[in-house]
Each structure stands twice: as structure tokens, then as C-alpha cells.
Chain A
Amino acid sequence: MEKLRSIMLACVGFALFLGLWEIGGRILGSALLAPPSAVAVDYVDLLRQGDMLRELAGSLRQMAVGFLAACIVGMPLGVAMGRSDVADAIFRPWVSMFVVTSTAALIPLFILTIGTGFMLRVTIVFLASVWYIVLTAYNGARGVSPMQVAVARSFGAGTLQIFWKVTLPAIYPFLITGARIGLVHAIRAMVLAEMFVIIGYGGLIHRSGLLVDTGPVLGLLITLMIVSLFFNWLLGEAGRRLAPWYEQQRVTL
């Protein structure tokens, strides 16, 4: 019941928002703010044209490379930092520095050094997401219950066994959470980098932004939002499927 109520409230809020947007759009006109009715028409056009989905697929593929690299580097690094004081002392200053650095500010620098191609997008996506993955894994590794480690030792488990059978499973929910946060940042960074060099999906948004009609831009943004939400949900679902204890663990984070 509680859930149904909150869903209904969300729907009411959403309908209200659409209504206000429609009214505002009619008053301001499509050049300033296309109303939802016009965006819907433009959206069907975008789908039929095929540019939107094609560019999206291409961009996401490159994003995936950067994001996977961030997971492959970030997860072990975060775990190592959480479990070893030496690794923590060496890497934490760097992580702290980079995580507060604006990725947008780095883009011009990287355009100069590695050009505007595939590597640029991969690098930017990597740098935008890896620190969140590191920090989440780090916190997870820090929080592994000493009691559970003691239990494993009590049954005669060695250091390696403790790592594989206790530390890693205990960190797992954090790795998933880190991946989810990282992915949101990765998609944002992808669009940002592409808007700088006007390629891919970000390039498409940039070019549409130059039109006198705001409908297509809004349509592109909506697709991007849906895609981000979908991947976020997908990772969460994967976490739940692979680890039924995940929800229960997550509540106690």
C-alpha cells in the first residue's frame, strides 16, 4: 500500500510537471521551449530517422570500453587500499585529488595530447568514473567485519581463503554500488567529451542545439536519461540476481 501510494504520488507529480511544461511551451514557443506534445512528434521523427539510435549505440560502445577499464582498475585498487595501509598511503592522495577535479577541465588538455579520436572518449570516461569505483570499493573493504574474519580463522582458513571466501563476498555489494555510481558518471562524461569535439551522441546534441527548434534536443536528452536509468537499474538487478543477500546487505550499509 505504502508503495502504491508513493507510485501514485510520483505519477501525479509527473503529470503536473508535463501540464506546466505544456502550458509554458505553448506560451514561449518551440524555439525557446518545445511543449511535450511537440517533443513527442519530434521524438517519433528522431526514431524514424535512425541517427539518434545509431549514434547512441556507437557512443555507448566506446563508453563501455572506458567504463570497463575503470572497473578493472578501480575495483582492485580500492580493495587493495582498503585492506593494506601501504596501498592506502600511496594511492589515497591521488584519489582524493582526482575525485574533486572537474573532468570537463581536463578535456582540452587531453585533446592536445591524445587527439579527438577513440582514445579521448575512453580516457575521459575512465577518468570520470574510476575514482568513484575506487572509493566505494575502498569503503567496502574497510568495513569488512573483523568478527567474520575471526570466524573464518577459527575454522582454520588461511589468508588467501579469507580473502576469497570472506572479504570479497562482503565487499560485493559495494562493488556493485560503485559500478552504478561510476556508470552514471561515465555516461555523463561520454556526452561531455563528445560535445567538445562534436562527434557521436554528444555531437548530435550539440548540433541539434543549434537548431531553432528545441524539440529534437529535448528528445535526445530524454533518450539519454532513459538509457542512464536503464543501465543503473540493470546493474542493480544484476546485483540482486547474482546475490540474493544483496538487498539485505545494502540496507545495512
Chain B
Amino acid sequence: MSELETRPAGTGAPDKLEIRNVTKYYHGRGNSLPVLENFSLAVKDLEFLVLLGPSGCGKSTLLRIIDGIETCDSGQVVLDGKNVTNTTGDGRGMVFQSFELFPWRKVIDNVAFGLEVTGVGKAERLDIAREYVNLVGLSAFEHSYPHELSGGMQQRVGIARALAIKPQVLLMDEPYGALDVQTRDLLQDELLSIWERQRKTVIFVTHSIEEALYLADRIVVMSPRPGRIEQIIDVPFGRPRRDALKSDPEFLALRREIWQILKKGARV
């Protein structure tokens, strides 16, 4: 367990985002399903945090609660000391698994959406949007509609749309889950290179151990429903990271260890 020690609280960077005792039930016919029970987690400033866990453990629910598009039954989400529970738009930008671009908007107007609804003037928001379209390498497709783009390109637009509002915390819910392996690897590298140039706090959901290890500073391994923290893992690899890391013996060893943790959690 040498590399797997969990960092004691209070060391390193200050907390950017705090999730305090969040509880969420889904109410069905006659029964209530606990998805999250007293879930607490502190996310450090500028860290790349990955939530890893089996399907249905509540990762999306947690991310949607942080974003505010889902309400929680109790508990708090605190961003920079400010209570943002059950509110949207304030400092958080979200990237969705199935892209969820607006089909009636061109690429540039999709990216400008967040700025548009917060009242940024047209010329200014288009300038900013153009900058982010360029950042994800889609300048040539500014005036294309989403249906004219491949899945990978659509998700680049999704990322540009979330970044364009300059969020303090970027929330990504299995952003590459709907893409093929090659595109996925490519986009992971692109994301890392963007993140290294424009550091910000990222909470990234996945159920791929490899993806988690490749991207994260810390990995939060969650247990099946109701979602609890099984273990928090500090990822020891330096940055910038390159694709070759994925075949590094240490990487593979860690991957196996995390697999064991997930398997153990699944049995409980």
C-alpha cells in the first residue's frame, strides 16, 4: 500500500469546494432510494479530482448536486466559503456525457451560450467564444452545426462551452464515455494540455481506472449505493503526463490496486 496513503486533512492547498453531509434520496412509488447519505468531500484549489466508482453509485447525482441542477435533501455545497447549495451558474461549468449541445446553435453560439444568458454583450461574448473554440482546435468549424461534427468534436465544443464562462470549478461527467478509445485518448491529452496552461479545479467523473490514474491528482473511489467514499488515492505521477505513462509498471501496479479496492467495495 506504499503509494496509496491518503493525505491527511489540512496539508497542501486550501479547499476550493466543500461538500458537507450531502444527502440525496430518489423517491419512487412507495419507496425511497438513498443515493447519497451524509456525503462529505473537500476539493482543493486547482486540483484535478477524479470520482471513480461503479455504475449507479451516485457519481452523476453528486456532480449534478454540485452544479446545482439537482437539489439535495440536506447538506451543503460550499464554493470559496460561499454557500451555493441548490443554485446554478455561480462559478461552476459542467460538461455532459452525451454532449448536450443545442442543435439549433452553431458551434460559436453554443460556446457563447453561458455568456449570453449571463448578459455579456454580443461582440464581447463572440470574441470570448471564438477564443475558446480556438483553444479546443475547432476554429474551422465555428459556423458548423453540431450535427455536422463527429462525437469527439462535439465534446470539444462541450468543453469550450463550459470553459468559456471561466468557471472556478470545472465539472465533467464521464465526458468521454460516449467516445471510441482513440478519440478518448486524444481528448484526455488535449484536456491535460489545456489544464496545464489554464489551471483550474476540476472534478471529473469516470468509471475507467486508467482514465482516472492518467488524469487525476487525487482519485476518490466510491462504493456502490448509497455512494460513500471507499478510499482517496493520491496519484504520484508528475506532470506533464504523456501517453507512455499508461504502460509504466508503477501505473499498472496502481491500476491493479485500485481494481482490488473497487472489487472489494462491490462485494460489500
A interface, CB within 8 angstroms of B: 147-148, 150-158, 161, 165-166, 169-170, 172, 243-245, 248-249
* B68 contact set on A, CB distance < 8 A: 153-154
Within B147-199, which residues are at the interface with A (CB < 8 Å)?
147, 161, 165
Contacting pair A148 B114 (CB below 8 A): no
Contacting pair B145 A147 (CB below 8 A): no
The yes or no answer to B237 lying at the interface (CB within 8 A) is: no
User: Could you pull out 12 A-B pairs where Cβ atoms are within 8 angstroms?
Assistant: A151-B96, A151-B102, A155-B89, A155-B114, A155-B161, A165-B117, A169-B104, A172-B104, A244-B145, A245-B145, A245-B147, A248-B147
Instruction: Give the contacting residue for A147; candidates B98, B105, B118; CB below 8 A.
Output: B98
Contacting pair B103 A248 (CB below 8 A): yes
Max count, chain B CB within 10 A of own CB: residue among A156, A166, A169: A156
The yes or no answer to B100 lying at the interface (CB within 8 A) is: yes
* B118 contact set on A, CB distance < 8 A: 155-156
Interface size grouping (class) on chain B:
20 to 34
The yes or no answer to B94 lying at the interface (CB within 8 A) is: yes
Residue in chain B with minimal CB distance to A247: B147
* A150 contact set on B, CB distance < 8 A: 64, 69
Given the interface contacts A153-B69, A154-B67, A165-B117, does A148 sit within 8 Å of B100 by beta carbon?
Answer: yes
Q: How far is the CA of A249 from the CA of B101 in the complex (A)?
A: 13
* A245 contact set on B, CB distance < 8 A: 103-104, 145-147
Q: How far is the CA of A156 from the CA of B162 in the complex (A)?
A: 12
- Min Cβ gap A150→B in Å is 5
Q: How far is the CA of A244 from the CA of B102 in the complex (A)?
A: 13
* B250 contact set on A, CB distance < 8 A: none
Beyond A154-B69, A155-B113, A155-B161, 7 additional pairs, beta carbon < 8 A: A151-B96, A154-B92, A154-B94, A155-B89, A156-B114, A157-B89, A245-B145
* B90 contact set on A, CB distance < 8 A: 156
* B69 contact set on A, CB distance < 8 A: 150, 153-154
Q: B interface, by DSSP: helix, strand, loop or mixed? A: loop
Contacting pair A157 B117 (CB below 8 A): yes
- Min Cβ gap B67→A in Å is 5
Question: CB-CB contacts of B133-151 with A at 8 A, as 1s and 0s?
Answer: 0000000000001110000
- Min Cβ gap B76→A in Å is 19
* B21 contact set on A, CB distance < 8 A: none
The yes or no answer to B231 lying at the interface (CB within 8 A) is: no
Ordered nearest first, which 5 A-B pairs have the shortest CB separation? A156-B89, A155-B114, A169-B104, A157-B117, A248-B147
Q: How far is the CA of A150 from the CA of B118 in the complex (A)?
A: 16
Residue in chain A with minimal CB distance to B103: A245
Contacting pair A166 B117 (CB below 8 A): no
- Min Cβ gap A251→B in Å is 10
* B146 contact set on A, CB distance < 8 A: 245
Given the interface contacts A154-B68, A155-B114, A156-B117, does A166 sit within 8 Å of B102 by beta carbon?
Answer: yes
Max count, chain B CB within 10 A of own CB: residue among A158, A169, A244, A249: A244
Instruction: Give the contacting residue for B100; candidates A147, A158, A161, A165; CB below 8 A.
Output: A147
* A156 contact set on B, CB distance < 8 A: 88-90, 114, 117-118
Q: How far is the CA of A166 from the CA of B110 in the complex (A)?
A: 12
Question: CB-CB contacts of B81-120 with A at 8 A, as 1s and 0s?
Answer: 0000000111011101010101111000000011011100
Q: How far is the CA of A245 from the CA of B92 in the complex (A)?
A: 29
* B102 contact set on A, CB distance < 8 A: 148, 151, 165-166, 169
Question: CB-CB contacts of B64-80 with A at 8 A, as 1s and 0s?
Answer: 10011100000000000
Q: How far is the CA of A166 from the CA of B113 in the complex (A)?
A: 11
Contacting pair B103 A154 (CB below 8 A): no
Residue in chain B with minimal CB distance to A251: B147
Instruction: Give the contacting residue for B117; candidates A155, A169, A170, A172; CB below 8 A.
Output: A155
* B94 contact set on A, CB distance < 8 A: 151, 154
Contacting pair B117 A161 (CB below 8 A): yes
* B96 contact set on A, CB distance < 8 A: 147, 151
- Min Cβ gap A152→B in Å is 7
- Min Cβ gap A30→B in Å is 53
